[in-house]
């Protein structure tokens, strides 16, 4: 018996329509994802009170690339910045002698204030100072809207033309992952005459608009307005328990906290805590920096595991370094115990440095302190 299968009647579809449809699909699909160079005109950007990005009409690379701006004091002459300098000036005194002023940023690793002060002291023939003497040498100063420290150092002997004592005014400020050095060098009288202008110059410094929010790699997305709770001001600070024998010191510009511990024999050691974005050059770079501070030769990457050890801290592992040597600046034997704790997008540095006996007494309490620090955002 024959079975008739009825089929749905088909309307003829033109070949042209079919080919056109396939061609259109192919054209659209192959055109997807292709981006073109756009050319358009826009009005000139006017600077606003909130600090819109200024346009530059000169080839002066400092004006267009400078992360900071300043007001040049009367009588100062700006010179072309070169090398490590982002700003270079000459201040001329009434005697006709000049003082040199420089602005140098250094990034990638934290800068120890004491080490830099002793470096400047060494430049003018002064002996290095100890950590407990640093406070007496420090003068608070405003660098733009931020707080910094100013050091005023004068040589005891004539250093310039064998007639004039040398004087250095040095100011340091750490902002983000960069430490800024503002320094005036010249003979005692000229620097003394120019000091008020130098202080005003520092106050006039303005850094680029909110770089911390924009420039950090993997910058955080802004907080959504759908959050249930607004983060408080203390949301980024860890919590720790300070041992009773640690004396809190005023932290330097780049430090989170600073403590002093004194041994029973009178020796002293200093504990500093700092935090910087990223890996700050990595473990090897920081280990060799600390080794350099104690006059020790650098180690190669292959020797790093033998030069460090791992310690358990809250939320993971950290790297510990224990070095004994001679502090390059003071010439005294010293011991350094440091712990690097990577946490979220930052690296926390805990450093114990000082007299060997003081450090030996403080190490157990120091390690317990580091291992019990409680970080936010678990």
Q: Out of 2, 210, 244, 306, which residue is the one contacting another protein (CB under 8 A)? A: 210
Which residues, at least 6 apart from 201, have a Cβ–Cβ distance to it below 8 Å? Answer: 70, 71, 72, 73, 76, 101, 182
Q: Which two tokens stand for residue 61?
A: 């690379």
Residues 163-182 touching another protein, rule: CB under 8 A, are 177-178
> Which range, of 116-124, 149-157, 181-189, 228-236, touches another protein by CB under 8 A?
228-236
Bridge partners of 77, per DSSP, are: 90
Q: Which two tokens stand for residue 247?
A: 């004396």
Is 212 a binder of another protein (CB under 8 A)? yes
Distance CA 292, CA 270 (A): 18
Residue nearer to another protein on the CB measure, 87 or 128? 87
Least distance in angstroms from the C-beta of 173 to another protein = 14
Q: Compute CA 356 distance to the chain's CA centroid, rounded to the nearest angstrom.
A: 29
Least distance in angstroms from the C-beta of 15 to another protein = 5
Is 32 a binder of another protein (CB under 8 A)? yes
Is 18 a binder of another protein (CB under 8 A)? yes
Q: Is the dihedral of CA 26, 28, 32, 38 positive or negative?
A: positive
Angle among Cα 277, 279, 284 to the nearest 5 degrees reads 150
Is 333 a binder of another protein (CB under 8 A)? no
> Which range, of 55-63, 145-153, 253-261, 306-314, touches another protein by CB under 8 A?
55-63
Q: Which two tokens stand for residue 330?
A: 């003071």
Binding mask 274-293 for another protein (x = CB under 8 A): ----x--x---x--------
Q: Out of 1, 4, 6, 65, which residue is the one contacting another protein (CB under 8 A)? A: 65
Is 50 a binder of another protein (CB under 8 A)? yes
Least distance in angstroms from the C-beta of 309 to another protein = 23
Distance CA 133, CA 312 (A): 34
Distance CA 26, CA 362 (A): 73
Which residues, at least 6 apart from 109, have a Cβ–Cβ distance to it below 8 Å? Answer: 276, 280, 281, 285, 286, 289
Q: Out of 1, 3, 49, 301, which residue is the one contacting another protein (CB under 8 A)? A: 49
Binding mask 127-146 for another protein (x = CB under 8 A): --------------------
Least distance in angstroms from the C-beta of 270 to another protein = 23
Is 64 a binder of another protein (CB under 8 A)? yes
Q: Out of 13, 74, 300, 302, which residue is the one contacting another protein (CB under 8 A)? A: 13
Distances (CA, A) of 131 to 35, 205, 216: 59, 29, 32
Interface size with another protein, residues (CB under 8 A): 82
Bridge partners of 106, per DSSP, are: 179
Distance CA 301, CA 284 (A): 7
Least distance in angstroms from the C-beta of 320 to another protein = 22
> Which range, of 7-15, 87-95, 163-171, 316-324, touches another protein by CB under 8 A?
7-15
Residue with tokens 């000082």: 354
Residues 99-128 touching another protein, rule: CB under 8 A, are 105-109
Least distance in angstroms from the C-beta of 23 to another protein = 11
Q: What is the bridge-based pairing of β-strands 316-326 and 333-343? A: antiparallel
Residue nearer to another protein on the CB measure, 280 or 359? 280
> Which range, of 222-230, 250-258, 319-327, 357-365, touches another protein by CB under 8 A?
222-230
Angle among Cα 365, 287, 346 to the nearest 5 degrees reads 75
Distance CA 355, CA 10 (A): 97
Residue nearer to another protein on the CB measure, 66 or 129? 66
């Amino acid at each position: 018996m024959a079975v008739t299968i009825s089929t749905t009647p088909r309307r003829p579809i033109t070949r042209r329509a079919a080919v056109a449809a396939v061609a259109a699909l192919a054209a659209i699909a192959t055109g997807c994802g292709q981006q073109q160079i756009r050319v358009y005109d826009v009005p000139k950007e006017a600077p606003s009170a909130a600090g819109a990005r200024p346009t530059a009409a000169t080839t002066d690379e400092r004006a267009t690339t400078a992360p900071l701006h300043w007001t040049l004091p009367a009588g100062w002459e700006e010179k072309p910045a070169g090398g490590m300098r982002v700003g270079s000036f000459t201040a001329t005194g009434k005697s006709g002698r000049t003082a040199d002023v420089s602005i140098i940023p250094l990034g990638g690793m934290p800068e120890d204030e004491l080490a830099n002060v002793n470096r400047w002291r060494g430049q003018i023939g002064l002996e290095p100072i100890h950590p407990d003497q640093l406070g007496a040498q420090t003068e608070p100063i405003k660098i733009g809207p931020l707080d910094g420290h100013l050091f005023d150092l004068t040589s005891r002997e004539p250093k310039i033309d064998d007639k004039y004592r040398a004087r250095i005014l040095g100011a340091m400020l750490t902002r983000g992952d960069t430490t800024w050095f503002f320094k005036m060098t010249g003979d005692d009288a000229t620097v003394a005459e120019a000091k008020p202008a130098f202080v005003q110059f520092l106050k006039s410094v303005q850094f680029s608009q909110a770089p911390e929010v924009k420039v950090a790699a993997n910058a955080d997305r802004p907080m959504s307005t759908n959050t249930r709770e607004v983060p408080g001001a203390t949301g980024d600070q860890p919590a720790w328990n300070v041992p009773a024998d640690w004396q809190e010191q005023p932290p330097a510009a780049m430090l989170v906290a600073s403590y002093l511990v004194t041994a029973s024999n009178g020796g002293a050691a200093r504990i500093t805590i700092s935090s910087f974005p990223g890996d700050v050059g990595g473990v090897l770079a920081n280990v060799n920096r600390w080794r350099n501070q104690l006059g020790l030769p650098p180690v190669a990457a292959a020797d790093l595991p033998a030069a460090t050890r791992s310690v358990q801290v809250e939320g993971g592992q950290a790297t510990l370094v224990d070095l004994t040597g001679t502090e390059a600046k003071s010439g005294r034997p010293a011991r350094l115990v440091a712990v690097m704790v990577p946490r979220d997008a930052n690296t926390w540095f805990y450093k114990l440095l000082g007299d060997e006996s003081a450090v030996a007494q403080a190490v157990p309490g120091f390690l317990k302190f580091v291992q019990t620090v409680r970080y936010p955002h678990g």
